[in-house]
Structure 1
């Protein structure tokens, strides 16, 4: 087993950046976080590999600036696996690629049955990677050598994987598709904060009443603030199920709350005053949350036949032709066109259905140019056919 050293100071980073700048070809990059352990999604290890420069492992919390590394590799193509997961953490650290090659996305476009990193490495190179530490707490210091070896292997073979997938893309005529998809990942805007995120409490659907929801909101907020302060994943302090159990128990005093058997978690008793204060604040709240938020989402397709029969007919006509085209292209249907985009255009199509108008609507909904080229005409024809094939309304008896 190789002996890996973590670069944990600015001088070490500058030396590594110089080596990487002198390397050649694309740069493989990966990130390890401490999801499920820490509140933040910051990077706790960044792995970089380039031919001619080797593997370099960086400790982001110990490094003041990644500017030298950005300058060294910023204009090269970065190879990542599932780039959308890693880009936020990299950008938070000051690392931002100009162009990328996403090996997971490429594997999807190519129709690979398995698209996890280990599976793609095995399928393209015949090398089996151990995934023993994928769910580890990467904020641990010092990091064990076995973890570092695992992390290094995540990038050591990635450029070779990229080359193998690039050849497949060329053979299948999908190079342009992939380029558009990679650029879309880079250009994807940051999601705005979710409205009323406390409503995502697992099990909240089991409680009723606006007052109880006010208490739920106060409890969630109290836990969120403490988790941020401690940099600990909220569920490790008090799990969702424990908060919901406390809501259902409806304790009348702080002592009653302490006696709720299912109110568990490492901070459930040590921070009892905090949780009880949240109960009192929620019960005293004058602005009660509504039972449900109005959403801009569409009704579930099973309800369309009653709520919007023409849209139901359009969706039922278009879905199989899009699925057939995806099969012909040897890729998952959702990579050809997401179900959400198809549902939205079926629910509210252009007034004048033509391939051009459907294509413009698809682009407005976020479809890439290649997706529009592959689906607009099929969808437009399916929509027209759905009208022509609809049963005629019964005429009044003469």
Structure 2
């Protein structure tokens, strides 16, 4: 199979009007599709793909989608690496009986009408966790989803990218050429639009094939619980001291240098947000680090640092030097240790910091891995590494299945995960505390 079957094309408008009996109801002028459904192969031909970028076209598309049937596949394209924001710059929607619609969110504005039409339907996405935030930003929020990427992981497929899964389950080869493109570009090139349309055009067929695979493997209920968990997952809280993500920060010495690095990072972040550009495209991390180490005393010296590069390195020289001055003069000096957090120490240090936790962790990991292999699941989908580490570091007492199960639920584990691992975890913890070198009463 190399091509998808297009929806039946709408008749030519003039011909339809001419053929209509005199005095009959006017023909339905709603757009059936905004892109001819195609699958791009080496020798395929396709018509022009258009983007809906006005309210009138958008509302007509909503009515066409309303007339369709079954699940709705949806995807969003951002401009990560180019823009500061993670907003959607293109949203693609497909429904059987309606076709594919490419929508321009910045131009359209509110998507309340589309939400009202599809909000109660099942949405099909590939890697839903990547798109839910930017969809919600424009008012699109599903009540239930089917995630084909997560489904592929749970099914144990060797590759879970959209192209690989489509090829394996549907026998269709998709060219994946523009995933890292700057989707804020206007106008969008035709080749990008075809790529975007194909991202959703086959998702409903893929969903049906994936459901059959999961059902055959006895994993359909597992998948439903995982899809629901993805939908309910709360956004991660903002990082404390995000400037500490500056690449190479560990190479700086002294609190004064950290203060200068912090001020430079914040100045860049503020400007990037102001003009909606990815910070690294203005001045890269390596340049901020070079300026911090040089600690220039005037703007000429800053401009003379050969490693201080980037499109805004000279045009915003006043901004960067002012940041250096703030860092040089501030009395708010940060420490190398950073703010207190609930982050656990790396497991390699547990033997010294918490020997009992180390024993529990080493005892439970192989048991969980064995269960995952038996279920033909990636171990991280059975139980996340973070959950296993937290449970091992500070376990509930006593070490029995009900107590462990309650702790797993508190840590966010789903019902199927609890049923699969609680007893094995309890046994591993008991075994760890019975080892000759394990001492104490189990408290850590």
| TM-score (norm: length of structure 2) | 0.87
Cα separation, 1, equivalents of 2:316 and 2:75: 37
Does the CA-based 8 Å contact 2:284-2:310 persist in structure 1?
yes
- Which residue pairs with 1:348 in the alignment? 394
Does the CA-based 8 Å contact 1:47-1:152 persist in structure 2?
yes
Q: Greater shift after overlay, 324-333 or 248-257?
A: 248-257
- Cα offset, 1:380, TM superposition: 0.4
- Which residue pairs with 1:331 in the alignment? 377
Alignment root-mean-square deviation, CA? 1.1
Tell me if 1:20 matches 2:30. no
- Which residue pairs with 1:302 in the alignment? 348
- Cα offset, 1:2, TM superposition: 2.6
- Cα offset, 1:64, TM superposition: 2.4
- Which residue pairs with 1:396 in the alignment? none
- Which residue pairs with 2:3 in the alignment? none
Tell me if 1:150 matches 2:204. no
- Cα offset, 1:387, TM superposition: 1.8
Tell me if 1:383 matches 2:429. yes
How does 1:276-315 map onto structure 2 within 5 Å? 276-293=321-338, 294-315=340-361
Cα separation, 2, equivalents of 1:391 and 1:149: 63
- Which residue pairs with 1:91 in the alignment? 136
Q: Which runs of 5+ in 2 are unaligned?
A: 1-45, 440-444
Q: Greater shift after overlay, 295-304 or 109-118?
A: 295-304
SS at match of 1:50: strand
SS at match of 1:40: coil
- Cα offset, 1:295, TM superposition: 2.9
SS at match of 1:27: strand
SS at match of 2:123: strand
- Cα offset, 1:189, TM superposition: 1.1
- Which residue pairs with 1:239 in the alignment? 284
Cα separation, 1, equivalents of 2:292 and 2:414: 46
Of 210, 214, 226, which residue of structure 2 is paired with 1:181?
226
Q: Which runs of 5+ in 1 are unaligned?
A: 394-398
- Cα offset, 1:310, TM superposition: 1.5
Does the CA-based 8 Å contact 2:109-2:138 persist in structure 1?
no
Cα separation, 2, equivalents of 1:262 and 1:110: 48
Of 122, 145, 159, which residue of structure 2 is paired with 1:100?
145
- What per-residue deviation string (whole Å, max 9, x for no partner) do you get for residues 91-138 of structure 1? 001111110001111111111111111111111111111111111110
Cα separation, 2, equivalents of 1:40 and 1:297: 27
4+ residue runs over 2 A deviation = 388-393
How does 1:263-282 map onto structure 2 within 5 Å? 263-282=308-327
- Cα offset, 1:205, TM superposition: 1.1
- Which residue pairs with 2:403 in the alignment? 357
Tell me if 1:318 matches 2:364. yes
Cα separation, 1, equivalents of 2:254 and 2:352: 30
- Cα offset, 1:267, TM superposition: 0.3
- What per-residue deviation string (whole Å, max 9, x for no partner) do you get for residues 250-290 of structure 1? 21211110000000000000100000000011111111112
How does 1:256-267 map onto structure 2 within 5 Å? 256-267=301-312
- What per-residue deviation string (whole Å, max 9, x for no partner) do you get for residues 133-183 of structure 1? 111110110111111000000000111111111111111111111111111
| TM-score (norm: length of structure 1) | 0.97
Cα separation, 2, equivalents of 1:53 and 1:30: 16
Cα distance, 1:234–1:392 mapped onto 2, change above 3 Å = closer
